[in-house]
C-alpha cells in the first residue's frame, strides 16, 4: 500500500467513463449467484447500491444501526438534487455542472470523478421518477426546478423541503423489492465492529446485534462502506445522533487511507445553540438567504441591551445595523457561498456582536423582503401601497408561501415568530467532504473494500455545492459502484463462499470482544457523552471555521490527553449481551477521539486556505482565503501507522486538464 494509484482511465475526460465501462471485466449472471457482497449503511448510497447489486444477481447482505433502513440520515436533506437536464433551457449542460462542481470545490477534487458524476446525474432523475418519487411539478405536469447555491442555472430538482426523504424512500423501496425477492438479507439494528482481511483482501465484517448484543461474523467477497460522514466529531452538528465514523475508521485502521479529513462544511443558516443541554443543531435550507438579509448591530451598547432583554432587534434603526455580507461582498451580498458566509458570521461574533445570550448568533431579517413583496402585491391588486399594515400582511403571505415550513420549524424550536422578529442563525457543522480515499472504481486502498457516498472523499474537493450530496450518493450507488465492482469480483467466481471459521475472523472477533469488555469493566467516573462534548468543544474551538498553527497543535495535544483519560475514566453501564446504547456510543466516541487527532494533523499540514478549510496564516490583506496551488494541489491520503500522530501522508497530485484553475472571488 505504498503508492496511490487512482486508476483514472486514459483519454479525454468526456469519454473516460464510457470507455472504462466498455472495457472492464464483467461477471456472468450465473456466476453472480456465487458471489456475496456486504453493504454497510442504508442512506442514499448504501440503499441504492444494495438494490442495484441485488438486481444484478449478487447475494447482498446489508447492515444498518437504525431500526429500519429508511431512517438513515440522507432522509434529513431538505433542498434538492442537482442534475444537468437543462429542462429550463437556461444553458445547462454536463460540462457546466462538471465545471461548477470543480470550481465550488475550490479546485481540490478529481476531474475524472466529477465529470462522471455530472454525466450520470440525468439518469438519476429518470430513475427516481420511474420509481414514483413525487418531485415538485408545474401546472403543465412537468418537473419543476429551482436555483441553488450560487450557480447561474436552475438545475435543482426538489420535493418541497424534504427531497432527501423522498429520494431515500425511493431507494428504500427498490431495496424492499429485492428483500422481498430474497436477494438482499437485511440486518437492522446491527453495527459493524470491524473489517476482516484474508490474504490482504476484504472478506467480511464482525457485527454486533444491538438488540441482544451478540457478536456475529459475516463473510463476503467484497465489502462496501456507505456509512456517511463524520460531522459528529464536533458533537454538535446537523447530523443525526447516531451518525458516526466507525465503519470508515475501522477500515482505515486495517489499511484504507483516509483522505482530506480536515475538509468540513460548516453551514451558515442553522438554529443557534440555546444552552449546555443542547444535543444537536437544526439546519434551515440555504434558500432562506435568497430573501433574508444578514446583520448584527453596529454598536456594542445595542448588543448589550439586546442580550439583557432591554432592546428588540426591530427597534434598532437602519443606520445602526451592520449588514456585513453586503458591506464586505457587494457583488454577491447575502448569497456568497456557504464557507464565506459562515466565516463572516464568526468574525462578527468573535468581535463581540453576537445577538443572543451565548454571543453566537446573527440576525437573518425578512423585513425588507416582506415590504418589497407586499408593495408588489398591493400594486398588482390595485390596493394602497402606502398602507403599511396591508403591505406587511400581503408581504408575509408571499414569504409564507415560499418558506412557510421553515418558519414553522423555527417557531417550534425557538418559540419566536420570525414573521415579526428577525430570525437568529449561526453556522453549524453539516457535511464532511473528506473521507476514505478511493480510486476511480471507488475501491479503497484495501482490495475488495469500497467506499461510497459521503463516506468517501472523491467528488466535492474542499467545499460542496448545495444539492450535490444527494446526487453523489445516488450516482455512486445506482450507477457507478455496481459496474466497477464487477471488475474486481470477476476474479472471485471460483473462490466459493467465505469461511467465517478462518483464524482471521476468530482474531477480529476476539479483539472486538476485548474492546467491549474493556469498556464495561472500566467502571470509571465520567459518561461517554462527557467525553464526546469535550472533544466537540476542542474541535469547534480549534479546528472549526478558522484554524491556526498554535490552535491545531494544542488540539492535537488535548485530544490525545482526552483519549487517554477516556480509556481510564469512562463509565459504561450495563452488560455486553443486551440492548445497551451507552456501549454502542462508547465505541463510536472512541473512534472519534482518534479521527479528531488526524483531522487536526491534516489541518496543520495544509498551510493554505481552501474551501471550508481556512488557515489564518494564509489570507489576503482583506481577510479572504488564500489558496496555495503551487504547494497544495493534492489530496492528502493518510496511512494508519499504529496511532493518529504517526499517520503517514501520501499525496495524490490533482491534474486539471479540462478546467483552468482560478481564484474564487465574490467581491
Residues 175-194 that bind other proteins (CB under 8 A): 176-177, 179-180, 186, 188
How many alpha carbons lie under 13 Å from residue 501 in its C-beta half-sphere?
A: 0
At 662, give phi and psi (nearest 5°): -130, 170
Angle at 163 between CA 160 and CA 168, to 5 degrees: 145
**Closer residue to other proteins, CB minimum distance, 530 or 567:** 530
Contact call for residue 143 and other proteins (CB under 8 A): yes
As beta bridge partners, residue 81 has 157
Cβ closer to other proteins: 70 or 328? Answer: 70
Selected binder of other proteins within 1, 8, 26, 76 (CB under 8 A):
76
Q: H or E segment at 223?
A: strand 222-225
139 binds other proteins, rule: CB under 8 A: yes
Single out the residue of 207, 209, 204 nearest to residue 37, CA to CA. 204
Q: Is 277 one of the binding residues for other proteins (CB under 8 A)? A: yes
Residues 221-250 binding other proteins (CB under 8 A) are: 238, 240-242
Show the beta-strand stretches assigned E in 276-417. Answer: 293-297, 321-322, 362-365
E strand or H helix at 152, and its extent? none
- In the complex, the smallest distance separating the C-beta of residue 573 from other proteins, rounded to whole angstroms, is 6
413 near other proteins (CB under 8 A): yes
How far apart CA 231 and CA 240 sit, in angstroms, is 10
Distance of closest approach, residue 120 Cβ to other proteins, in angstroms: 7
Nearer to other proteins, 124 or 443 (CB): 124
Nearest to other proteins of 176, 619 (CB atom): 176
Residue at grid coordinates 412537468 = 142
Give me the 575-614 binding string for other proteins, x by CB under 8 A, dash otherwise: ---xx-xx--------------------------------
Contact 231, 264 (CB under 8 A): yes
Residue 55 or residue 504: which is nearer to other proteins going by CB? 55
Active-site annotation, residues: 338
Determine the Cα–Cα distance for residues 614 and 616; give it in Å rounded to an integer: 6
Question: Among 127, 246, 342, 463, which residue sits at the site for other proteins (rule: CB under 8 A)?
Answer: 127
Span from 19-27, 131-139, 296-304, 441-449 in contact with other proteins (CB under 8 A): 131-139
Print the SS3 string covering 39-83: EECCCHHHHHHHHHHHHHCCEEEEECCCCCHHHCHHHHCCCCEEC
Q: How far is the CB of 112 from other proteins (least distance, A)?
A: 20
Q: Which of 24, 57, 87, 515 binds other proteins (CB under 8 A)?
A: 87
Burial, 563: exposed, middle or buried (Cβ in 10 Å; 0-12, 13-18, 19+)? buried
Contacting range for other proteins; rule: CB under 8 A; set: 123-131, 319-327, 597-605, 609-617: 123-131
Spatial strand order in the sheet of 634-639: 435-436, 258-259, 634-639, 648-653
Among 12, 19, 93, 134, the residue binding other proteins under the rule CB under 8 A is 134
Residue from 91, 140, 309, 317 binding other proteins (CB under 8 A): 140
Q: Which of 13, 35, 174, 223 binds other proteins (CB under 8 A)?
A: 174
Give the nearer residue to other proteins in terms of CB position, either 101 or 238: 238
Amino acid at each position: 500500500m505504498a503508492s496511490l494509484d487512482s486508476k483514472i482511465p486514459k483519454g479525454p475526460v468526456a469519454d473516460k467513463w464510457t470507455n472504462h465501462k466498455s472495457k472492464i471485466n464483467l461477471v456472468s449472471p450465473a456466476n453472480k449467484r456465487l458471489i456475496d457482497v456486504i453493504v454497510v449503511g442504508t442512506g442514499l448510497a448504501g440503499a441504492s447500491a444494495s438494490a442495484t447489486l441485488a438486481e444484478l444477481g449478487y447475494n447482498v447482505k446489508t447492515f444498518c444501526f437504525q431500526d429500519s433502513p429508511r431512517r438513515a440520515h440522507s432522509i434529513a436533506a431538505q433542498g434538492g438534487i442537482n442534475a444537468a437536464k437543462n429542462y429550463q433551457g437556461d444553458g445547462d449542460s454536463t460540462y457546466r455542472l462538471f465545471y461548477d462542481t470543480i470550481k465550488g470545490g475550490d479546485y481540490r477534487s478529481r476531474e475524472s470523478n466529477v465529470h462522471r458524476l455530472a454525466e450520470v446525474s440525468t439518469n438519476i432523475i429518470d430513475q427516481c421518477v420511474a420509481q414514483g418519487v413525487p418531485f415538485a411539478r408545474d401546472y403543465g405536469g412537468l418537473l419543476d426546478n429551482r436555483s441553488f447555491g450560487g450557480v447561474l442555472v436552475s438545475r435543482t430538482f426538489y420535493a418541497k423541503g424534504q427531497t432527501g426523504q423522498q429520494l431515500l424512500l425511493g431507494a428504500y423501496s427498490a431495496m424492499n423489492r429485492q428483500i422481498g425477492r430474497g436477494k438482499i438479507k437485511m440486518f437492522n439494528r446491527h453495527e459493524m465492529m470491524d473489517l476482516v482481511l484474508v490474504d490482504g483482501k476484504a472478506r467480511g465484517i464482525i457485527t454486533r446485534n444491538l438488540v441482544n448484543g451478540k457478536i456475529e461474523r459475516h463473510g463476503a467477497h467484497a465489502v462496501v462502506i456507505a456509512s456517511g460522514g463524520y460531522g459528529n466529531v464536533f458533537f454538535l452538528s446537523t447530523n443525526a445522533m447516531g451518525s458516526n465514523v466507525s465503519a470508515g475508521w475501522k477500515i482505515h485502521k486495517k489499511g484504507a487511507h483516509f483522505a482530506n479529513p480536515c475538509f468540513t462544511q460548516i453551514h451558515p443558516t442553522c438554529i443557534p445553540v440555546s444552552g449546555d443541554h443542547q444535543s444537536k443543531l437544526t439546519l434551515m435550507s440555504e434558500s432562506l438567504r435568497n430573501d433574508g438579509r444578514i446583520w448584527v448591530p453596529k454598536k456594542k451598547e445595542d448588543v448589550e441591551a439586546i442580550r439583557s432583554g432591554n432592546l428588540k432587534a426591530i427597534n434598532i434603526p437602519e443606520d445602526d445595523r451592520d449588514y456585513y455580507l453586503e458591506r464586505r461582498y457587494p457583488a454577491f451580498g447575502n448569497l456568497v457561498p456557504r464557507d464565506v458566509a459562515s466565516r463572516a458570521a464568526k468574525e462578527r461574533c468573535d468581535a463581540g456582536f453576537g445577538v443572543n445570550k451565548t454571543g453566537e448568533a446573527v440576525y437573518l431579517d425578512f423585513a425588507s423582503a416582506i415590504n418589497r413583496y407586499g408593495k408588489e402585491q398591493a400594486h398588482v391588486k390595485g390596493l394602497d401601497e402606502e398602507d403599511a399594515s396591508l403591505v406587511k400582511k400581503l408581504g408575509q403571505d408571499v414569504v409564507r408561501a415560499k418558506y412557510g415550513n421553515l418558519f414553522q420549524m423555527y417557531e417550534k424550536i425557538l418559540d419566536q415568530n420570525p414573521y415579526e422578529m428577525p430570525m437568529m442563525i449561526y453556522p453549524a457543522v453539516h457535511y464532511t467532504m473528506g473521507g476514505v480515499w478511493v480510486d476511480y472504481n471507488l475501491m479503497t486502498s484495501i482490495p475488495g473494500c469500497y467506499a461510497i457516498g459521503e463516506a468517501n472523499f472523491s467528488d466535492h474537493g474542499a467545499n460542496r455545492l448545495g444539492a450535490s450530496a444527494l446526487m453523489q450518493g445516488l450516482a455512486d450507488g445506482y450507477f457507478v459502484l455496481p459496474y466497477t465492482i464487477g471488475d474486481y469480483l470477476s476474479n472471485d467466481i471460483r473462490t466459493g463462499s467465505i469461511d467465517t471459521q478462518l483464524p482471521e475472523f476468530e482474531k477480529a472477533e476476539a479483539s472486538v470482544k476485548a474492546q467491549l469488555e474493556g469498556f464495561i469493566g472500566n467502571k470509571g467516573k465520567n459518561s461517554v457523552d462527557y467525553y464526546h462534548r469535550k472533544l466537540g468543544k476542542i474541535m469547534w474551538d480549534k479546528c472549526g471555521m478558522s484554524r491556526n498553527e498554535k490552535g491545531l497543535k494544542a488540539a492535537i495535544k488535548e485530544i490525545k490527553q482526552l483519549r487517554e483519560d477516556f480509556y481510564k475514566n469512562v463509565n459504561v453501564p450495563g452488560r455486553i449481551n443486551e440492548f445497551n446504547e451507552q456501549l454502542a456510543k462508547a465505541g463510536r466516541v472512541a473512534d472519534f477521539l482518534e479521527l479528531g487527532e488526524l483531522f487536526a494533523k491534516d489541518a496543520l499540514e495544509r498551510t493554505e486556505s481552501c474551501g471550508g478549510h481556512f488557515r489564518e496564516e494564509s489570507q489576503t490583506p482583506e481577510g479572504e482565503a488564500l489558496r496555495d496551488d503551487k504547494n497544495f494541489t493534492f489530496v492528502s491520503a493518510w496511512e494508519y501507522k499504529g496511532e493518529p500522530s504517526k499517520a503517514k501522508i501520501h499525496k495524490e497530485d490533482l491534474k486539471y486538464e479540462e478546467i483552468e484553475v482560478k481564484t474564487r472571488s465574490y467581491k
